[in-house]
Amino acid sequence: MADWQEITGGITAPRGYRAAGITAGLKPSGLPDLALIFSDVEAIAAGVFTTSQVKAACVDYCRQHLQAKHHTQAILCNAGQANAATGSQGWFDALESAMTVAQALNISSESVLLASTGVIGQRIRMEQLKAGIPKLVAALSETGSDAAAAAIITTDLVTKSIALETTIGDRPVRIGGIAKGSGMIHPNMATMLAFVTCDAAVSPALWQQMLSRAADRSFNSITVDGDTSTNDSLIALANGQSRTPAIIEMGPEAEKLEAMLTAVCQHLARAIARDGEGATCLIEVQVTGANDELSARQIAKTIAGSSLVKSAIFGRDPNWGRIAAAAGRAGVPFEQENLQIKLGDFLLLENGQPLPFDRAAASEYLKAAAKGAYLKEDTVLISVSVGNGHGIGKAWGCDLSYDYVKINAEYTT
């Protein structure tokens, strides 16, 4: 049983944080498009970012910031323009964005991190952003998480938010998070955009290690369409306002905190996969019996990302051959005679041999998982065993529908 409980409040649930989200005129739609997360005191900062060679200015900015300084106090995020592949002017826009919000908050620009999302190749609409900053700062609130979550989304159908609480040293410790993402989802080091706040006191090196491991077990284990973004950013703050003893090395308290951090990241990652563009259901792939966790995750992510598997799920076709084929090309050695595949409760393949099963009932299982069928029970579970090893891994994805092509065919038009 989890050693924490879910609470309300999102990124402002931990002590000492405020957030805001407004409409600044960055999006042509007129929807909210500028968000701010602020810690009342400087916080330890950690980040995981895209490994794409084509990176947004905000990614380069944050990397440089975190290499020089492990503390920050604010995160500014704009939606509408990705500010990626925008050359030197995009870099200057990022610097100006940081300086503008820093002046409004009366803090150093070195205490500001940045994130952007939107159309690649478009610079931020700086006139609108700068005009919106005073309104954004004025809107900061201890209940502003929902507004911030709404201001960072683009093609998302829903906002993504979570907050958990545990006890460390007889005092409550909280972690909250928000995220955005629906398309261009195949993270390599991070996710589209995710922001995490925590009120524990953690050493910078340990907090970064925790976040990197949590990312591998969450955002690096989801896929929607196989495309890694230019703007992928996962940023986590820890401001120590819970007044618990500082955690400086791995031990029971650090393990407890990391487990809760991972749970927050996995919740947000699943929410992104569930909200995949055009998707009707979430796919969860569980792999056991591999030699190690990394190998198990690699097989799971290959299955979850297979266009043939995703298409079969959308068509409610229990075609286990596509699952077997994806597992076989994952680049992880295993003996074919050890392969077992289950779809929900339906055992389809065992010891490398196909089994008779009720195809109509299995198809009904897939139909029942269609989005909205049973509230949140919209998950298709694929269980695969490849041997007797101790490696266990999970990955999440979604089905591939006609609407995915329609959404992306008309993205900039």
Domains in the chain, please, with CATH? 5-274 (3.60.70.12), 282-409 (3.10.20.340)
> Among this protein's residues, is 262 annotated catalytic?
no
d(CA 166, CA 175): 9
| Angle subtended by helix axes 293-305 and 320-328, to nearest 10 | 130
**pTM of the predicted structure, to 2 decimals:** 0.93
Per-residue DSSP letters for 181-241? -SSS---SSS-SEEEEEE-S-B-HHHHHHHHHHHHHTTGGGB-SSS---SS-EEEEEE--T
Q: Are strands 346-350 and 353-354 parallel, antiparallel or unpaired?
A: antiparallel
Annotated catalytic residue, options 86, 154, 191, 302:
191
Residue matched to tokens 């077997």: 324
DSSP label at 111? G
Sequential pLDDT tens for the chain (413 residues): 679 999 999 999 999 999 999 999 999 999 999 999 999 999 999 999 998 899 999 999 999 999 999 999 999 999 999 999 999 999 999 999 999 999 999 999 999 999 999 999 999 999 999 999 999 999 999 999 999 999 999 888 899 999 999 999 899 999 999 999 887 777 776 668 999 999 999 999 999 999 999 999 999 999 887 777 889 999 999 999 999 999 999 999 999 999 999 999 999 999 998 888 889 999 999 999 999 999 999 999 999 999 999 999 999 999 999 999 999 999 999 999 999 999 999 999 999 999 999 999 999 999 988 755 444 568 999 999 999 999 999 999 999 988 888 888 876 65
Report the 10 Å Cβ neighbour count for 41. 10
The CA distances from residue 69 to 35, 37, 76, 333, 350, in Å, are: 23, 18, 17, 42, 53
The strand ranges marked E within 7-51 are 17-22, 34-49
Task: State both tokens at 387.
Answer: 């041997």
Which amino acid is present at 174? R
